[in-house]
Structure 1
Amino acid sequence: MYQRTIAPTATVPDVAVLLAERRIGAVLVIDHEEQMLGIVSERDIVRCLAANGARMLEMTAGQLMTRAVQVANPGTTVNEAMQLMTVGRFRHLPVIDHGTLIGLISIGDVVKARIMQQDTVVESLTAYVAGSA
């Protein structure tokens, strides 16, 4: 099972412990057949706490999760992922390949990849200018 997943029957405290232990911002909720059902993020927990108070501690990941999850595939570019996340105002994007969960990228991953792309462009331009002089 992917390291950032939890069962729909897990309690919200279970989700919070997993987020804290792994130092991550979201977990995917998957069923026993490893099919993604939704996602639970730190934001979901805060919103649920505001709406439900202490009752939230008795709720499950299945009750709390966001069900309409946008996904990427291995061919999704960094720019496409950034656009999806920016427009959708979310920070985690599951990656699905032929119906199988293969990963979860965060906005931090996207920013890091974008910076690496920009560094490559700068290095190429610098080499070009230095070679032309």
Structure 2
Amino acid sequence: MHVSALLKRKGSEIVSVRSDDTVAAAAALLTKHRIGAVLVSDGDGRPAGILSERDIVRRLAADGAQALGRPVSELMTRDLVTVGPEQSDAEALALMSERRVRHLPVMDGERLLGVISIGDVVKARLDGAELEVESLRGYVAGIG
């Protein structure tokens, strides 16, 4: 399955914050949308970074509650790992494993199309495996 099909399944809603928003505001968005990461927008629609729950937890462990008042720009990951819509779910999963990331912005050139998570990719792979098993069961049952 292509990444574009994953986005079509899950929807392409993009939840983002600005780099000068507080970590507390970003955490509230993560909770509201029940997601594990939020894109940081640079103002022109392109992602400037990504902020994950892990980024927040690490800073909380280091700085305590003061971390919540800090700007997102201090915690976000700036070196984004991205994927294209034409890439396969297997390629996306391999990239996530190799680069140790759980969220990939989907870019078509300079245009942001959405974000996929490791959960989205694993679900698609499991759904594909279940479909294959059912097809094989039907094939075997039809032969007998």
TM-score between both structures, scaled by the size of structure 2? 0.85
Code of the aligned partner of 1:93: L
Counterpart in 2 of 1:77?
Answer: 88
Task: Check the 8 A contact 2:107/2:114 in 1, yes or no.
Answer: yes
Matches within 5 A, 1:7-86: 7-86=18-97
Separation in 1, partners of 2:14, 2:48? 16
Query: How many residues align structurally?
Result: 132
Separation in 2, partners of 1:116, 1:23? 22
Matches within 5 A, 1:112-131: 112-131=123-142
Code of the aligned partner of 1:14: A
Indicate the percent of aligned positions where both proteins have the same amino acid: 48
Structure 2 residue matching 1:10: 3-state secondary structure? coil
Question: Residue by residue, what CA displacement relative to the aligned partner does 1:73-100 show, whole Å, maximum 9, x if unpaired?
Answer: 1112111111111222221111111211
Q: CA RMSD in A?
A: 1.4
- 2:13 paired with 1:5: no
Q: Which runs of 5+ in 2 are unaligned?
A: 1-12
Counterpart in 2 of 1:98?
Answer: 109
Task: Check the 8 A contact 2:18/2:42 in 1, yes or no.
Answer: yes
Separation in 2, partners of 1:111, 1:70? 18
Q: Which runs of 5+ in 1 are unaligned?
A: none
Structure 1 residue matching 2:77: 3-state secondary structure? coil
TM-score between both structures, scaled by the size of structure 1? 0.91
Q: 1 or 2 for the larger relative contact order (CA 8 Å, sep ≥6)?
A: 2
Separation in 1, partners of 2:108, 2:82? 10
